[in-house]
A and B are shown apart, each in its own frame.
Chain A
Amino acid sequence: QKEVEQNSGPLSVPEGAIASLNCTYSDRGSQSFFWYRQYSGKSPELIMSIYSNGDKEDGRFTAQLNKASQYVSLLIRDSQPSDSATYLCAVNVRGGGNKLTFGTGTQLKVEL
């Protein structure tokens, strides 16, 4: 069973702080890793993708991948109340076409 694990939270951070979201995956054949943001009652919105070990930065977001530890994380700098949402980690396994396996998501609350 290919699993993607996330802490469900909620993770509460004050406005302006760094939010750190973590995800582990079980299948070493995983090749592509994604972070989606999902507001309550809405669809997942792609915010970051990462394919190789290391860091990838896009604006206030940084994705970090460590394939040896089977770990991917998302850092959100200068957190804003509008960042309050559930963050879904999704993994694409080699040979799995474009099928994504999602984690349960971490709920982030950014407090004023």
Chain B
Amino acid sequence: EPEVTQTPSHQVTQMGQEVILRCVPISNHLYFYWYRQILGQKVEFLVSFYNNEISEKSEIFDDQFSVERPDGSNFTLKIRSTKLEDSAMYFCASSVPDTSNTGELFFGEGSRLTVL
């Protein structure tokens, strides 16, 4: 069964360092997303990406964050200067293009980011 894959599974970094989280969405999906979940809290939307541009972003997704689809398979989330409060599990998700916006998202296993 096709799946979303994410790397690394766990990254530890020092505050102020840049981090890049990588995702390979399901091959025929065209919508891509990043969500995050701080330990013990709800899953929160960060950004959605379609047709090589950001389609929507939340207030969490400030100038420290960026996304990119550098080739035909990878989808990356970059955090330029990490803060302690960026420590969370980051989930990549993808979905099939759907004019009815049914929103069936399929999530990767997540990348746990720990900022020290």
Contacts and interface: CB of A to CB of B under 8 A. Distances in A.
A99 B33 CA distance: 8
A100 B101 contact: no
A3 to B, nearest CB: 10
- Which of B45, B48, B95, B103 has the largest count of A CB atoms less than 10 A from its CB? B103
B44 A32 contact: no
Contacts of A104: 41-42
B42 A100 contact: no
Given A43-B107, A96-B56, A98-B33, A32 B42 contact: no
A88 B103 contact: no
Interface stretch (A18-26, A44-52, A58-66, A76-84): A44-52
Interface residues of B, number: 24
A103 B41 CA distance: 9
A51 B102 contact: yes
Interface in B70-104: 91, 95, 98, 101-104
B8 to A, nearest CB: 15
27 contacts: A32-B101, A32-B102, A32-B103, A34-B103, A42-B109, A42-B110, A43-B108, A43-B110, A44-B91, A46-B106, A90-B43, A92-B101, A92-B102, A94-B101, A96-B56, A96-B101, A97-B31, A97-B48, A97-B101, A98-B102, A98-B105, A99-B33, A99-B45, A102-B43, A104-B41, A104-B42, A105-B42
Q: Which 3 pairs, one residue from A and one from B, show the smallest C-beta to C-beta distance?
A: A92-B103, A102-B43, A43-B107
